[in-house]
Structures are given as C-alpha cells and as structure tokens.
Amino acid sequence: MGKKKICICVGHGRNAWGRYDPGAVSKDGSYHEHKIARKIAKYAADYLGCDLMNYDGRLCLSGRIKAVNAGSWDFVADIHLNAGGGTGTEVYYYHGSPTGKRAADEICKSISQALGVRNRGAKVRLNSAGRDYFGFIRQTRPCAILVETVFIDSDSDLAKIKTEEGCKKCGIAIGKALEKALNEGNAK
C-alpha cells in the first residue's frame, strides 16, 4: 500500500448550538483546550504535510465527523487535552484496529519522551452497548484516534505545552509517531 492520506483534526471550537466550546480549561480558566490543541495540531500537520481540519474552530463534533466521512483520508487523529486530575498522555483508538493501536502506542511513547510526561498508554473505551465510547472514533469511516496530549488541569502538564515551543514539541512528536506507525502497516 502507498503513502496513507492523513488528516489532523482539532477538537472542540464550536458546540452543536453554534456557541464557542473551549473544551477543558486550566484551573485558573486562562488556558483553553481548543486554543492549545489547534497549535499542536498545526505543528503535527505541518510536519506531516497533511490536511488540517477545524483549525478555525467552526466545526462541532458532528460537523467534524461529517467532514471526515466526506473526505478521502485513510487515517484521522483528533487532538485534545485531557482533564480530570491526572497527568500524562493517552490515546484512544478504535477497538478493532491494529493500525489504530500501533499509532496510539507510538504517539503515547513519542509525546512522553518529547515532553517528559507520564505515558498512560494506548486505550480503548467502550460504551454500555460494547461500542467505542467516543463518537469521533465510532462514527468516522477512516481509521481514527483521539489524542489526549496532556492534562490541562495539571500544573506540571500544562507547563509543558502552554508555550509555543511546547506546542511545537508536542505536535512534532505526534507527527513523527504517525509517520513511523503508518509506514509500518496497513490501514484499518
């Protein structure tokens, strides 16, 4: 198989009602998930020379899913920042995808090494019906992952990505990991 067509998406930006959706925010409210994720995603897309979606934050989740399904990508990664009191990086992937698992493993390892944060690992999260929990993973046609780069509500994690240099390190780490993972196997 030839080179895979990749799309990097930025999580959040707009909700289903058309209002601004920052995603998670820092403890003091001054850092927004969408605003940091868009910088990280841009660096990843620039590194890979691939498409970047929702940089402007105009697409809600269902809009991102619809746009991905209308495209011709082999692989998509939705970039986020986590929250809830933890630390480190983790990546969710479609439960039946060896390619998704390989990409998730590589991204976790790469971000962990680049930023010096905990590697929480590649993960699958299923809903009560036994299907993938995250709509972006469950409803997109191409192989999809959801990258939780670091925890925005952890002061130590936030310190790693709140600067332009930190976003660049994180984005390039994602790009390098995808380049490695997707050159080693077949899609979905």
Instruction: Find the CATH number of the domain harbouring 75.
Output: 3.40.630.40
187 falls within a domain: no
> Is residue 65 one of the residues assigned to a domain?
yes
Please check whether residue 53 lies inside any domain of the structure: yes
Please give the mean pLDDT across all residues of the chain. 95
Q: For residue 145, how many C-alpha atoms fall within 13 Å in the half-sphere facing its CB?
A: 36
Q: Is residue 188 part of a domain?
A: no
What residues make up the domain containing 113? 6-182
Asked whether residue 1 carries a pLDDT value surpassing 80, the answer given is: no
Q: 3-state DSSP call for residue 41?
A: helix
Other C-beta atoms lying within 10 Å of the C-beta of residue 180: 15
Domain assignment of residue 1, yes or no: no
Q: What are phi and psi of 16, to 5 degrees?
A: -65, -20
Q: What pLDDT is stored for residue 184 in this prediction?
A: 61
Report in angstroms the alpha-carbon separations of 45 from 42, 51, 99, 118, 168. 5, 6, 19, 24, 11
Q: How do residues 9-44 score in pLDDT, each as one tens digit?
A: 999 999 999 999 999 999 999 999 999 999 999 999
Which pTM was predicted?
A: 0.95
State how far the Cα of 107 lies from the Cα of 111, in Å rounded to an integer.
6
Distance in angstroms between the alpha carbons of the first and the last residue of the chain: 12
**136: pLDDT strictly greater than 70:** yes
Q: What is the pLDDT of residues 89-129, one digit of tens each?
A: 999 999 999 999 999 999 999 999 999 999 999 999 999 99
Cα 61 off chain centre by = 13
CA-based Rg of the chain, rounded to a whole angstrom? 15
Instruction: Indicate the number of domains in the chain.
Output: 1
> Residue range 128-144: average pLDDT?
96
Whether the pLDDT of residue 56 is over 60: the answer is yes
Whole-angstrom Cα distance, residue 180 to residue 184?
7
